[in-house]
Amino acid sequence: MKTQFSSDKSDNLDPAYFLKLFTALAILAAVYFGSVLFKNKTETQSQNSPKFNPPQTETVFAASLPVAQDAFLIPRNDIVTPIRNWNIEEPKLSAKSYYVIEVNSGKVLAQREPEQTRPIASLSKLMTALVIIERANLKDEITISKNAVDTYGEMGNLVTDEKMTIESLLFAMLIESSNDAAVALSEKFNGQFVAFMNKKAEQLGLKNTHFADASGLAIENVSNAKELVKIMQEAIKYPLLKNIMKTSEIDILSADGKRNHHLINTDKLLLKYPEIIAGKTGYIDEAGNCMIVAVSAPDGKGAIINVILDSQDRIGEMDKVIQWAKEAFLW
């Protein structure tokens, strides 16, 4: 007895099914042959082109990097120094304004009110020195006037009618901060000296710096910590000025060789820090104790310029700042 199997119409194959299957297979084939063609073309171009070997970089592990705000997981040679060590606190200073900057990188290390315009006392003599070295013959002789000798202050020990070379007067002015020497130098320019000081400030782009005399006794001699950095940067371009300002003690003679002037630098830190490039102190009542010092950076690649204005202890606080910059940053 034969068994007959019956089937429903739904089991019959629909032509639309074949159409869909064919379409899918066609797409897959197109993708496959397209990828093969692209690969062959790329390999051919690569064989015909010079090979490029990427530069090898030093592998740096996270554990080898200092833990600091400025640290990044990049090769050590690419890290911009100095890097702050936040375990060392910023020094506590009485100065009303201060500014510490590494001039090679432009990195500000510490600051307080750096744009506050204030009287700058004998820091003005940096600009006096710039005008002299740019406009005068250093071998010329100046006869010291009674007006210069009568200027407030005893430093320099100049006497009326003695003759001094301009270079010797620069030593007296920058080492002992002699007001007599500053006035004697300015008198050579027949009343035009202060105008030259202000013109130089304008050339340096100093918008908050103004001078009324060569010595800094005038309270109208004003600047701010940021702009004083620019003046010092300009001053240390001249080897003679750097040499004078880092001289701790020296004897200079009058032009005739008959009178000796023994000069002792007002920057007492010169004996402690051989890395000092240049420095200048200043004081009048309205300005308080002021000081600016440029030192070589610990890595030997640049300079740090430190400005302190209106401090209760300019030498002690400048000492703190110089030492702090060494310890609070990785160089």
What digits encode the pLDDT tens for the residues 33-55?
Answer: 665 555 555 454 545 444 434 44
Q: Among all residues, which ones are annotated catalytic?
A: 122, 125, 177
Amino acid identity at 179 = N
Q: How far is CA 271 from CA 36, 201, 267, 274, 320, in A?
A: 78, 31, 9, 7, 15
**CATH code for the domain in which residue 166 is found:** 3.40.710.10
Number of domain units in the chain: 2
Does 235 score more than 70 pLDDT? yes
Has residue 49 been placed in a domain?
no
State whether 28 and 167 are in the same domain: no
Note if the pTM is more than 0.85. Answer: no
Structural domain of 35: 15-42
State whether 25 and 119 are in the same domain: no
Does 282 score more than 50 pLDDT? yes
Strand partners, 118: 223
State whether 19 and 134 are in the same domain: no
Has residue 161 been placed in a domain?
yes
State whether 92 and 214 are in the same domain: yes
Does 320 score more than 70 pLDDT? yes
Cα 137 to Cα 100: distance, rounded to the nearest angstrom: 34
Q: Please give the average per-residue pLDDT across 9-19, as a whole number.
A: 52
State whether 30 and 153 are in the same domain: no
Has residue 60 been placed in a domain?
no
Has residue 51 been placed in a domain?
no
In this structure, are residues 241 and 129 in contact, taking their beta carbons and an 8 Å threshold? yes
pLDDT band at 81 (very low <50, low <70, confident <90, very high): confident
Does 230 score more than 50 pLDDT? yes
Has residue 10 been placed in a domain?
no
Mean pLDDT taken over the chain: 85
State whether 30 and 154 are in the same domain: no
